[in-house]
Amino acid sequence: MSRVTINDIARRAGVSKGAVSYALNGRPGVSEETRHKILDVAQELGWAPNRTARMLSGSRTETFGLVLARDPRTLGSEPFYMEFVAGLQSELSRRGYALLLQLTPTAENELELYPRWWSERRVDAVVVVDIRVSDPRVAALGELGVPAVFVGDPAMTGGFTTVWTDDATAMASAVRRLVELGHRRFGRVAGTPGLSHTRVRDLAFTQAVAAEGLTGTILHADFSDVAGGRATRELWDHPEPPTAIVYDNDLMAIAGLSALSELGISVPHDVSLLAWDDSALCTITHPKLSAMHHDVMAFGAHVGRRLFDLLVGAEPAAHLDSTPVLVERESTAPAPR
Amino acid sequence: MSRVTINDIARRAGVSKGAVSYALNGRPGVSEETRHKILDVAQELGWAPNRTARMLSGSRTETFGLVLARDPRTLGSEPFYMEFVAGLQSELSRRGYALLLQLTPTAENELELYPRWWSERRVDAVVVVDIRVSDPRVAALGELGVPAVFVGDPAMTGGFTTVWTDDATAMASAVRRLVELGHRRFGRVAGTPGLSHTRVRDLAFTQAVAAEGLTGTILHADFSDVAGGRATRELWDHPEPPTAIVYDNDLMAIAGLSALSELGISVPHDVSLLAWDDSALCTITHPKLSAMHHDVMAFGAHVGRRLFDLLVGAEPAAHLDSTPVLVERESTAPAPR
């Protein structure tokens, strides 16, 4: 196969050579739509960047880093990170970038990694996830001068480039819709406490329920199926159990559905369940799960684009990703009488 | 925190300093059990390898590479790769290794990556997955001299170190058990054609069914929920539909269960379903899915250990991982009369 040139891409995409160059080098100067089109054509034609030319223009590692401070066991069945990484990779692979991925047992181990990666020039920039309240990574990466995109509430990311979702608004709309359906007692099976998005959703849930003069119970779990099932049974054991439960991810909602179904409790007749994220899993349960829909792959791709922005000197900014919206399927219904 | 030394680890683990050194450097000379114990203690104490000492002893990148030539979209909801990567990472993170992960749109792009990674010394070794029949990566990596662990049928990996599961035996035992339950018409919703493990299971299924003088239909899908649901409906539309269906992963089995349940067909009363891999998803459906159980995280960890073996000059060998065994839950039952 003869080598694909910028000319070939420009001709096929119907744009100028300059536009192709801007798009392929991740520089501003073309619209997001045109950039997408050009990258799609480049990929279709099998364009490979000329590494030598790139090396001369800088000393890029063509690698971004991502550290997950988690027990590997919790990653296997949780669709969120696989979808996020898949979305991130979809942007990276279009430009020949790889992802350096490392799991560490603790947040302390994570902090030790960044100076090593940076001093050895193993990454051009990093993605920082699972933002915690008072997150020490803000100061650590700031001191090192590592370009980074934080994924989480911009109030907690100290001026770094941030991609975030407005979970407070999403949670308020979820509760509002359940109130419209006649629900008066609410449960929330929340993710790991200490994470900023768990905190944001906790607060929004409490406020939304209180604003209606209603009651709500929050139980914290850890996003796993086991903990999700356990928390659901615990909510149901209450003398006055909730008639609607909002979950912090899909896996816990599916486990909750399964736990209730084992107890002979009908969803949505006896209790409404609302999942969060809306992976493919929500449509293959029976009943299908209603969910706060968030396109996690697109979210990962969005983070990928902001990483490339950093390489061309973009100013730090908070980028709002799409706000999760309620998709009603079969697990939510009017409250039982 | 003061620096953790090999002495500290030896004292806590109740072993000699020499044993600790062997274990931490991935060298033979200690039993697998002792190695595990030492690595656990090291992790618990927060031991960090002295990188300078390591650098002097060689020029390790402390990185292994993994390329997935797949559409990012198919990765998000498929538990296999997340569990596999999580298991791999569990071994890597114990020794401070990272994973360089890259998604490529095509197998051709994958072949172009290895020479780059190797000439730039970005990885110490690579993991090769999704082995195809007559896989060009065998010759390509052999010529480059890249240390590699192949994951798949050793008959197709040209003498490279290989970690594999005996899917033929597993498939034969699955069919045998379903025959015992009185089933006479079988369906198989298979993965992507062209992959070696799809081929191995296709052959084993055909042979096992033929050996009983029975009939079986294979439909190829692509491991996705959409394709799994479609293939299941197609099998059911047959004038004499199967009474037992064996799937190539969990996601397609769950989608099949959902598709049948929408058609008002009862599992396992009308038809038995058998999933493959047995991720956490199988126990949170209703009915819970019977499955050929394979501990995918342990499989990934096994591959990780073989990667470290390569670094200390282990001879290539085929390593048999555990054979999937049938876990009977609620989706398999005696054949309908």
The 3-state secondary structure of chain B reads CCCCCHHHHHHHHCCCHHHHHHHHCCCCCCCHHHHHHHHHHHHHHCCCCCHHHHHHCCCCCCEEEEEEECCHHHHCCCHHHHHHHHHHHHHHHHCCCEEEEEEECCHHHHHHHHHHHHHCCCCCEEEECCCECCCHHHHHHHHHCCCEEEECCHHHCCCCEEEECCHHHHHHHHHHHHHHCCCCEEEEEECCCCEHHHHHHHHHHHHHHHHCCCEEEEEECCCCHHHHHHHHHHHHCCCCCCCEEEECCHHHHHHHHHHHHHCCCCCCCCCEEEEEECCHHHHCCCCCCEEEECCHHHHHHHHHHHHHHHHCCCCCCEEECCCCEEECCCCCCCCCC
Taking contacts as CB-CB distances below 8 angstroms, the residues of chain B near A281 are 77, 254, 281
pLDDT in tens, B101-135: 988 878 888 999 999 888 888 899 999 999 998 99
Domain residue limits, chain A: 6-48, 63-165+296-320, 167-294
Q: Is the pLDDT of residue B275 over 90?
A: yes
CA–CA distances in Å: residue A222 to residues A123, A219, A251, B324: 30, 10, 11, 29
pLDDT in tens, A195-235: 999 999 999 999 999 999 999 999 999 998 899 999 999 99
Residue A324 half-sphere exposure, CB side, CA atoms within 13 Å?
29
Taking contacts as CB-CB distances below 8 angstroms, the residues of chain B near A106 are 46
Mean pLDDT of A73-98: 84
Report the 10 Å Cβ neighbour count for A180.
Answer: 9
Question: What is the model's pLDDT at position A37?
Answer: 84
CA distance A213 to chain B (A): 35
């047992």: which residue's tokens? A105
Q: How far apart are CA B262 and CA B229, in angstroms?
A: 11
- Amino acid occupying residue A244: A
Q: Tokens representing B131?
A: 């082995």
Say if residues A269 and A244 touch (Cβ distance below 8 Å): no
Say if residues B297 and B90 touch (Cβ distance below 8 Å): yes
Question: What is the model's pLDDT at position B260?
Answer: 94
Confidence of residue B56 (pLDDT cuts 50, 70, 90): very low
Domain A63-165+296-320 falls under CATH 3.40.50.2300? yes
A6-48 belongs to which homologous superfamily? lambda repressor-like DNA-binding domains (1.10.260.40)
Q: Tokens representing A330?
A: 């079969």
Q: Give me the percent of chain A exceeding a pLDDT of 70.
A: 93
Query: Across the interface, which of A46, A102, A257 has its CB nearest the CB of B93?
Result: A102
Q: Do A101 and B98 touch (CB under 8 A)?
A: yes
DSSP-assigned letters across all residues of A207-246: HHHHHTT-EEEEEE--S-HHHHHHHHHHHHTSSS--SEEE
pLDDT in tens, B180-200: 999 999 999 999 999 999 999
Question: What is the model's pLDDT at position B65?
Answer: 96
Say if residues B106 and B70 touch (Cβ distance below 8 Å): no
Q: Is the pLDDT of residue B19 over 90?
A: no
pLDDT in tens, A226-279: 999 999 999 999 999 999 999 999 999 999 999 998 899 999 999 999 999 998
Q: Give me the percent of chain B exceeding a pLDDT of 90.
A: 62
Query: Across the interface, which of A43, A51, A258 has its CB nearest the CB of B286?
Result: A258
Query: Across the interface, which of A72, A89, A254 has its CB nearest the CB of B72?
Result: A89
Burial of B131 (C-beta count, 10 Å sphere; 0-12/13-18/19+):
buried
Q: Do B280 and A225 touch (CB under 8 A)?
A: yes
Say if B63-165+296-320 and B167-294 have the same CATH topology: yes
Q: Do B86 and A73 touch (CB under 8 A)?
A: yes
A330's torsion region: left (phi>0), alpha (psi -120 to 50) or beta?
alpha
pLDDT in tens, A129-178: 999 989 999 999 999 999 999 999 999 999 999 999 999 999 999 999 99
Q: Where are the alpha helices (DSSP H) in chain A?
A: 6-13, 17-24, 32-45, 51-56, 72-75, 79-94, 107-119, 136-144, 167-180, 196-211, 225-236, 250-262, 296-311
Fold of B167-294: Rossmann fold (3.40.50)
pLDDT in tens, A286-325: 889 999 999 999 999 999 999 999 998 899 999 999 999 9
Q: Give me the percent of chain A exceeding a pLDDT of 90.
A: 63
Query: Across the interface, which of B77, B83, B103 has its CB nearest the CB of A280?
Result: B77
Q: Which one of A64, A284, A295 would you mutate to disrupt binding with B, by most B Cβ within 10 Å of its Cβ?
A: A284
Cis ω for the linkage preceding A336 (within 30 of 0): no
